[in-house]
């Protein structure tokens, strides 16, 4: 276990110092999953690709996302956008929705027109070239 920990520490430190992610850590296992239970499983556009990274890749991801030293550095040097909610304590999608709602209400109170466009990514898989996807799978 100590040998593995030492190796992973060296690998992650090298990766972070050089800003490079080894290609082996970018490879994912892709599992096509039916989007919704009522969709026809014989049609390729009924599927959504689910990507699973290796355990080592996920460990590195967690290291970067939860690294207290990195977050402290980013905060201290004002490198995080004020409205960024991801990977920040006391921020969530609820914070984002409150900000959007506030902006809309502020615009309406000022007599301005407010529009909101929402994107449903459930159909994003439909734009994938299914022949190519099936060949690669």
The string of pLDDT tens digits covering residues 11-33 is 988 888 888 888 888 888 888 88
The answer to whether 60 and 24 have CB atoms below 8 angstroms apart is no
Q: What is the mean pLDDT of the chain?
A: 83
Question: Which tens digits make up the pLDDT trace of 76-99?
Answer: 898 888 777 766 777 777 878 888
Angle between helices 55-66 and 2-18 (to 10 degrees): 60
Report the alpha-carbon distance of residue 83 to residue 37 in Å, rounded.
36
* Residue 109 scores a pLDDT above 90: yes
* Residue 110 scores a pLDDT above 90: yes
Report the alpha-carbon distance of residue 127 to residue 34 in Å, rounded.
16
For residue 128, give every residue at least 6 positions away whose Cβ sits within 8 Å of its Cβ, in sequence order, or none.
Answer: 49
Adjacent-strand bridge partners of 31:
50
């Amino acid at each position: 276990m100590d040998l593995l920990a030492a190796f992973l520490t060296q690998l992650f430190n090298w990766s972070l110092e050089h800003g490079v992610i080894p290609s082996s850590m970018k490879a994912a296992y892709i599992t096509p999953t039916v989007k919704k239970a009522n969709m026809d499983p014989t049609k390729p556009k009924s599927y959504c690709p689910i990507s699973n990274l290796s355990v080592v890749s996920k460990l590195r991801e967690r290291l970067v996302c939860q690294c207290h030293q990195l977050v402290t550095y980013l905060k201290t040097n004002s490198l995080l956008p004020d409205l960024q909610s991801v990977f920040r304590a006391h921020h969530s999608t609820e914070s984002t929705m409150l900000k959007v709602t506030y902006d809309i209400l502020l615009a309406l109170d000022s007599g301005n027109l407010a529009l909101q466009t929402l994107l449903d990514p459930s159909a994003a898989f439909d734009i994938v070239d299914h022949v190519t996807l099936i060949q690669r799978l």
